[in-house]
A = this chain, B = another copy of it.
Amino acid sequence: MGRMVIRINHAPRPSDGKAYEFYPPWSQGAGLLEPSLLKALEDVVGPDNMTTEPVELLCYARDASENFGKPDVIVWPRTTEQVSAVLKLANEYKVPVTPRGAGTCLSGGPVPAKGGILMVMTRMDRILDIDVANMLALVEPGVVWQDLNNALEPYGLFLPPDPASGAVCTIGGCIAEDAGGMRAVKYGTFRDWVQALEVVLPTGEVIWTGSRTRKCVSGYDLVHLFVGSEGTLGVITKALLRLFPKPKYALVMSAFAKDLRDAGRAVFYVLTRGLTPSAAEIMDKHTLRAVSEFTGAELPDCEAMLIFEFDGYTLSDVRARLREAKKLCEATNLKVRVAESEAEASEIWELRRAASPALARLRPSSIHEDVTVPVSKLPDMLERIGKISREFGMLIATFGHAGDGNLHPVILFDERDPEEARRARLAARELAKAALELGGTLTGEHGIGLSKAPFFTLEHSRTEVEVMRAIKKALDPNGIMNPGKIWEAGP
């Protein structure tokens, strides 16, 4: 779902004061760190695992979102002990620490909003154990998603959640942002597959929490507190992941709807009938037009395209569920094409994968939204997106994980035009409000980070935010861990 280009030549934002209405002031990596801290950091990680080179600091000032924040120093720890030592120093000097993986985040989570130390975890990248009998993998946070799944292949196992950036993103980042993907509709998100964690707390203390057993009610569930906490509660240094046997068969079909309501109904019929698709994707007409131009594929004239995948243990079962889904889609006025071969299935997936790059070509800038609504509200949300697009005069193209109600409206604009940039941000706010009005959430899988922080209190009550803040304060008394994120970025 994300462009993984680091846009270092990105034009700075306009300074009319209004454009950042909802955004925190940028850190400029002002080089305010004391030399004694830099010396101490170098003693911990060694000179080869640290830099203050301006160009490098600039390279690491972005993730895959529109956010920017320059660190003052970058460290690449290689051991849990080094992570712990760095955090202890950060407390001593009261300097922010922001952990980061591959930087594919779409919400600014790993952007060092307040400067300080950027801790890049990519050099802690060992797969420590694959326990086939118990279907568990113990990994360091810097392991790339694809590398882990490649290593699991010979055992017939896989890690189901499949973020679009899987080829490059790291497991640590996936856990920190509770990454999802296309298979979430059947298999859930990372939250459902993390069983235990080694975490260096903001104070530098190290804990191991969770269990090698899936069932465990021994004390508070700290694992799920760390999952999705966006690097604000500590640094994950080891993760014990639950695995699953790779399904033997998978079949794919696409379905084209002339009416968004029909598409919405088809999705929830397929889900409530127990057909358990392993993917239920959607692309709207704007996305399809871009994809068609980008790939040269000829697509029927329609309001939306759905893609369903079914996987399972026996081919006959997978076929039966696909056939039933086809019937339901046809009964809802959709035109269905079943992929009759692996090549045809690949063609369908190529279209879906082309969505992000195809849209990125249309305009210089984009905001990738992640609004998520109850599945029954999908047609309403799609209509609201259309209305907001017209109201603000912005092209908003939408694709996403229909089976989870998880949409990625992409607001396309040119950031060099201050007026357009302002409208884009106001449109983003309206999208957020629409999702919440429909009973949804700001973010299904990208995280709040910096991008959605200004809207956070639209979703959460003051008291709920106070509970989160109290937990944060209990774990991070000096507020050094990834400050400025989630609720803290608002004015």
Contact = CB atoms under 8 A, between A and B. Distances in A.
Contacts of A271: 135
Interface string A370-397: 0011111000000000000000000000
A347 B144 CA distance: 49
Interface stretch (A7-15, A89-97, A310-318, A334-342): A310-318
Contact of A317 (B206, B208, B314, B470): B314
B219 A468 contact: yes
Interface stretch (A38-46, A56-64, A224-232, A418-426): A224-232
Nearest to A275: B313
A215 B445 contact: yes
Contacts of A320: 313-314, 317
A169 to B, nearest CB: 15
B463 A374 contact: no
Prevailing SS type, chain A contact patch = loop
Given A274-B247, A274-B313, A456 B376 contact: no
Interface residues of A, number: 97
A153 interface: no
A439 B374 contact: no
Contacts of A225: 220-221, 224-225, 471
A36 interface: no
Given A219-B448, A225-B221, A404 B374 contact: no
Interface of A: 131-136, 156-157, 177-178, 180, 184, 188-189, 191-192, 201, 205-209, 211-222, 224-225, 227-230, 233, 244-248, 268, 271-276, 312-314, 316-317, 320-321, 372-376, 401, 404-406, 439-448, 452, 456, 459-461, 463-465, 467-468, 470-475, 486-487
Say how many copies of this protein the assembly contains: 2
Given A188-B214, A274-B246, A471 B471 contact: yes
Nearest to A265: B133
Nearest to A470: B474
A245 B218 contact: no
Given A133-B374, A213-B406, 17 more contacts: A131-B374, A134-B375, A156-B274, A212-B439, A213-B440, A214-B404, A217-B447, A218-B441, A218-B456, A219-B459, A220-B225, A220-B228, A245-B273, A246-B274, A248-B274, A313-B317, A470-B475
Contacts of A216: 372, 441, 443-444
Nearest to A446: B217
Contacts of A245: 272-274
Contacts of A404: 213-215
A219 B456 contact: yes
Contacts of A268: 133-134
A221 B471 CA distance: 11
A227 B225 CA distance: 11
Contacts of A214: 184, 188, 404
B372 A134 contact: no
